[in-house]
Amino acid sequence: MPSPETLAAEPLISLRDIHLSFGENRVLKGIDLDVQRGQAVSIIGPSGSGKSTILRCITGLLAPQRGSIRVGATQVETLTSEAQRIELRKKVGFVFQQYNLFPHLSVLENLVIAPRKVLGRSAVEAEKDARALLAKVRMEHKADAYPGQLSGGQQQRVAIARALAMRPELILFDEVTSALDPETVGEVLTVIRELTEEGMTCVLVTHEMRFAEDISDVVYFTENGLIVESGSAEQIFQRPTSERTQEFLRHALGDAGRRPAVNGDPYLLSNISRYSLSV
Ligand SMILES: Nc1ncnc2c1ncn2[C@@H]1O[C@H](COP(=O)(O)OP(=O)(O)OP(=O)(O)O)[C@@H](O)[C@H]1O
Ligand SMILES: [Mg+2]
């Protein structure tokens, strides 16, 4: 058993030589990926390159045919029972493109249900936590609303709060803004940015290139089931070495995207001020 000091120095997530096929379709062809505690890591790349599959392997939702996946002290590929996978998912928050809130439960109830049922927390404690988390994502005024009464961006902020309610060690975000009205993208990105600033370990699959550049410590570029290139956000976005990365970014960023990254993106700031007006 490694000592606590050793564990702290090791990456929180470590993938080695992950191979995964769906039938004849070889989707992951040898993925190595590390995430240190407190890091924000983005995975970018073309559609179908295997990004979501990587995240699903980390949560134990998919089992690779070869390779090793470690999350904290858990060796994910060795888990055999559903009970063990549930233990893993207590540590790993997962937020998807579709928010998947329970439509028949209020916002507050959506946040309280899993901590009560899965973690066995008391109603009072779970509700206190839930209200604090709703305040954090600026949704406390909608505690008694139902998901159908909220905008996409508001529902996604509730989904993030719901993931946080389980007190995970890390959160995976899979294209959480791609189904949103452009008006509400910024408010969700602001919440994610704040989480990364607080030191939450985050892995993001995103098509929001400017955002990825701005908040990521490390960026991985995937194509066709392989990591083509990884490095600091600055290196990948400003000085990509692979021609494939260069070409992908040229398309993904377009002309408008080629301005340098700025702190306090005006797009995001405009959304912050919108909160104070609209909530
Ligand atoms: N459950 C599944 N069964 C069969 N094939 C699958 C399954 N899930 C994904 N695939 C295939 O695996 C490949 C990679 O899919 P994945 O969803 O990981 O891509 P992605 O990089 O997340 O793409 P996008 O940017 O479009 O979300 C695709 O060819 C996809 O069709
Ligand atoms: Mg995907």
pLDDT digits (tens, 9 = 90+) for 68-97: 999 999 999 999 998 999 999 999 999 999
What ligand is nearest to the CA atom of residue 23? 1
**Does residue 142 register a pLDDT over 80?**
yes
- Specify the residue with its C-alpha closest to ligand 1, atom 10: 22
**CATH of the domain spanning 38-65+80-278, picked from 3.40.50.2300, 3.90.1150.10, 3.40.50.620, 3.40.50.300:** 3.40.50.300
CB proximity list for 125: less than 8 A, separation 6 or greater:
none
Tokens of 234: 């600055």
pLDDT of residue 153: 94
pLDDT of residue 6: 55
Q: Is the CB of 196 under 6 A from ligand 1?
A: no
**Closest ligand 1 atom to Cα of 207:** 25
**Coil, strand or helix at 68:** strand
Q: Which of 28, 49, 203 to mutate to test the pocket of ligand 1 (most atoms within 8 A of CB)?
A: 49
Q: Is the CB of 39 under 6 A from ligand 1?
A: no
pTM for the full predicted model: 0.88
Residues making up the chain, counted from first to last = 279
Q: Is the CB of 225 under 6 A from ligand 1?
A: no
Q: Report the distance separating Cα 230 and Cα 218, nearest Å.
A: 7
- Specify the residue with its C-alpha closest to ligand 1, atom 2: 22
Q: Report the distance separating Cα 114 and Cα 133, nearest Å.
A: 14
**Does residue 98 register a pLDDT over 50?**
yes
**Closest ligand 1 atom to Cα of 53:** 18
Domain ranges of the chain: 38-65+80-278
Q: Is the CB of 184 under 6 A from ligand 1?
A: no
Q: What are the tens digits of pLDDT across the range 38-54?
A: 999 999 999 999 999 99
For residue 68, which amino acid is it?
Answer: S
> How many other C-beta atoms can be found within 10 angstroms of the C-beta atom of residue 169?
16
Q: What are the tens digits of pLDDT across the range 218-274?
A: 999 999 999 999 999 999 999 999 999 999 999 988 754 444 444 444 344 333 333
Q: Is the CB of 206 under 6 A from ligand 1?
A: no
50 CA from centroid of ligand 1 (Å): 6
Q: What are the tens digits of pLDDT across the range 172-227?
A: 999 999 989 888 899 999 999 999 999 999 999 999 999 999 999 999 999 999 99
- pLDDT confidence of 7, banded at 50, 70, 90? low
pLDDT of residue 8: 56
Tokens of 70: 């470690």
Q: Is the CB of 50 under 6 A from ligand 1?
A: yes
**Does residue 276 register a pLDDT over 80?**
no
Between β-strands 92-95 and 74-75, what pairing exists: parallel, antiparallel or unpaired? unpaired
In Å, what is the CA distance from 191 to each residue of 83, 178, 242?
Answer: 31, 15, 32
Q: Is the CB of 51 under 6 A from ligand 1?
A: yes
Residue 236 near residue 204 (C-beta atoms within 8 A): no
